[in-house]
Amino acid sequence: MANLKEIRNRIGSVSSTMQITSAMKMVSAAKLKKAQDAITAMRPYADKLTELLQNLSSGLDSDSGSNYADNREVNKVLIVAISSNRGLAGAFNSNIIKEAKRLAETTYANQEVSFVTIGKKGNDIIGKSHNVITNNNQIFDDLTFDNVAVIAEDLMSRFATGEFDKIEIIYNKFKNAATQIVTTEQFLPILPVATENTSSVDYIFEPSKEEIVEGLIPKALKTQLFKGIRDSVASEHGARMTAMHKATDNATELRDALKLQYNKARQAAITNEILEIVGGAEALNN
């Protein structure tokens, strides 16, 4: 059995760890509320804008002036993997990395695959085995629509110039604090709305179809990426809060077990001392 000093040191170490994980849980809970409100407020707008974009793209023709709906032969694929800059969030980052590698090594095994990473954790692992052309860790320092728009414009430019034939986005979609859904969305080319069992809609374009395409499509694509990153941020805080809650519970159980072990060891030591005293007294009497 371990000596009392060693057990006391372990109890102190576990208690310190428990205080840290408990504090991190509370910080993540506070940040989660703000991030959850942001994505909840944004999601209806982004979904409706995407729906409108898909309806518009279904009516695009070769003279519309848009290259973003060009479904060409897929030879080069770009995968945008959205992770985080920090760990201690359970399987949040590893799920994104696994899905990104699965896409590259199975779905697009016959294509040339490159990556754009958003988040240090994803970049550190994916960069070891795959080609990462750009990394955007700094976006989380000041997460605004304008800053995300710069990344989206770069992606749109790479597709429009033919550098890549298809662009996919992988991120954790926020469901609740305990559940994050790994989601893969096609960013480019634009997916047209399904025409089956859907009545055709005759749009009247004002001021013109070309101007609508030039203005709406880039804005919708930027919004799609911004929504994905906001979803990921809310998921990160939820995953970290859950992970730190479990870590705190585990630390509490371990501390209680160590205290029980300490009390048993202390009781055994006291018993041994009493037996030694009694034995010494008996020896003196004899």
Where residue 194 falls among pLDDT bands split at 50, 70, 90?
low
Residue with tokens 């203005």, as numbered in its chain = 215
Query: pLDDT tens digits for 223-233?
Result: 999 999 999 99
Q: Which CATH number fits domain 22-192+201-243: 1.10.10.10, 3.40.1380.10, 1.20.120.1200, 3.50.50.60?
A: 3.40.1380.10
Where residue 163 falls among pLDDT bands split at 50, 70, 90?
very high
Q: Indicate the pTM of the whole model.
A: 0.84
Q: Are 115 and 76 in contact (CB under 8 A)?
A: no
pLDDT of residue 275: 85
Residues in CB range of 258: below 8 A, 6 or more apart:
7, 10, 11, 14
Compute φ and ψ for 103, nearest 5 degrees: -60, -45
DSSP E strand boundaries for the chain = 76-82, 112-118, 132-135, 166-176, 179-188
Where residue 198 falls among pLDDT bands split at 50, 70, 90?
very low
3 state DSSP class of 38: helix
Query: pLDDT tens digits for 11-52?
Result: 999 999 999 999 999 999 999 999 999 999 999 998 888 777
